[in-house]
Structure 1
């Protein structure tokens, strides 16, 4: 039976963890573990989480000696993961009760390195409001950079595939997940589950909800440039890829063509007919 590792990087989100915990212990799939790494929270997160998980051996919690940021903490989570399939779950979010079961089914019946689903946007009380509209079935090629965003949570991947990459970049403060997606996708096929398996809580303190901020856009541009260099791409749509990263505008301008109707139509045809 495949073991599933759920990885949680926590920083000051202990007050939301009860919902996350309840969704995990309610899973219809039983062979899982939860790895929690706290990034030197300044609230009582560790005490709250430890009280909730008590002596449940399926949950393991570790702490950074000092605050290191999202990339470092998510990389630490992977150090402790023992499962064949891994996925990150934010401590202020939750997953549907059959999420792990449906993910494992995809890995069992398909030769894939990753699988992802739609996600449900929720209010601060985790009450579902609407499905995140941007998640789509993608055409995975060396020119796919998830820009504009086509998938986010719930992204699951084989641990053996992760170990073939350089892993999560510990210096990244944002665009950490985007970096991981692009590295994993370079090693095989990905399956799309067209239903929400992830409950995403919208609230003012959410780290991933800062994606509109200039710093996050800058980080994502650097991730895309690193990806282009790693894949040996010298030209995008007949435009030269800069040897050295200088600014985000250069990178996003290279990808403007991917938002155009013709490009999106071609990709839709490729996805539909599995070209």
Structure 2
């Protein structure tokens, strides 16, 4: 159908969270979707859990990589199987609010735009609120995205009738940022839906938890994706760090404690 949404979920040793992630899609008020999971050679019970869920919902599909190849390869594999007009992303440990897809699709139609994203709230590994909401710029330019990834991967959705299927980099980290940069190169400015529609799970062993790794992998984006030399990449990284430390905090809202 013309408004089918293909939801790409890569998995790797995700047994603790994958059921909840899939259920957050099954609970969507918009029901014309397919989930394409690609397992990156998990060694736990992730695949067994997914197969049990598949038996109860024909909209969910699983493909497996023979060897661990990284999130980028898994997402790209999933993309090759996608049949939907719209492509959306969800990581195996994150969650969507029930009206996420419906509100974003309505927003795309109302604004006549091919891509959007939204705010999201942060939770810990046990699903408890960290009382933090990350708000992106409402009208984000390519220049803003160039120096800071304001797009939460779990909130991005785009229209393949406008972009086609956008290949995902096989680089193991920060492929999502490169993905959105590719989109902004074409449309120059993107509008965010001004509402929190998802929960991002902050994990202690995640790349986002390590500031050193964040710098290292972002530097690789300037070097490999943009093809800059060391001098220019270092200059971009200095602006990136300034943006990350000084500007981005203005987009993070502290939520009130729930009584």
- What is the TM-score normalised by the length of structure 1? 0.79
1:128 and 1:245, CA in 2 relative to 1: closer, same or farther beyond 3 A?
same
Contact 1:131 1:196 (C-alpha < 8 Å) held by counterparts: no
Contact 2:118 2:135 (C-alpha < 8 Å) held by counterparts: no
Residue in structure 2 matched with residue 145 of structure 1 by the alignment: 145
Following superposition, the deviation at residue 82 of structure 1 comes to 0.9
Paired residue secondary structure (2:16): helix
1:218 to 209, 216, 219: 216
Residue in structure 1 matched with residue 21 of structure 2 by the alignment: 20
Contact 1:34 1:59 (C-alpha < 8 Å) held by counterparts: yes
1:246 and 1:75, CA in 2 relative to 1: closer, same or farther beyond 3 A?
farther
What CA RMSD, in Å, does the superposition of the two structures yield over aligned residues?
Answer: 2.7
Residue in structure 2 matched with residue 7 of structure 1 by the alignment: 8
1:164 and 1:82, CA in 2 relative to 1: closer, same or farther beyond 3 A?
closer
1:50 and 1:164, CA in 2 relative to 1: closer, same or farther beyond 3 A?
closer
Runs of 5+ consecutive residues of structure 2 not aligned to the other structure: 249-259
Following superposition, the deviation at residue 248 of structure 1 comes to 5.1
Contact 1:182 1:227 (C-alpha < 8 Å) held by counterparts: no
Q: Does 2:94 match 1:93? A: yes
Q: Does 2:251 match 1:250? A: no
Residue in structure 1 matched with residue 60 of structure 2 by the alignment: 59
Runs of at least 4 residues of structure 1 off by over 3 A?
160-165, 224-229, 245-248, 254-261
Q: Give the alignment of 1:85-164 within 5 angstroms.
A: 85-133=86-134, 135-141=136-142, 143-153=143-153, 154-163=155-164
1:109 and 1:211, CA in 2 relative to 1: closer, same or farther beyond 3 A?
farther
Contact 2:149 2:177 (C-alpha < 8 Å) held by counterparts: no
Aligned residues: 245
Runs of 5+ consecutive residues of structure 1 not aligned to the other structure: 230-241, 265-275
1:134 and 1:146, CA in 2 relative to 1: closer, same or farther beyond 3 A?
farther
Contact 2:118 2:196 (C-alpha < 8 Å) held by counterparts: yes
Following superposition, the deviation at residue 105 of structure 1 comes to 0.4
Contact 1:161 1:184 (C-alpha < 8 Å) held by counterparts: no
Following superposition, the deviation at residue 195 of structure 1 comes to 1.2
Contact 2:147 2:236 (C-alpha < 8 Å) held by counterparts: no
Paired residue secondary structure (2:200): strand
Following superposition, the deviation at residue 254 of structure 1 comes to 5.2
Q: Which has the larger radius of gyration?
A: 1
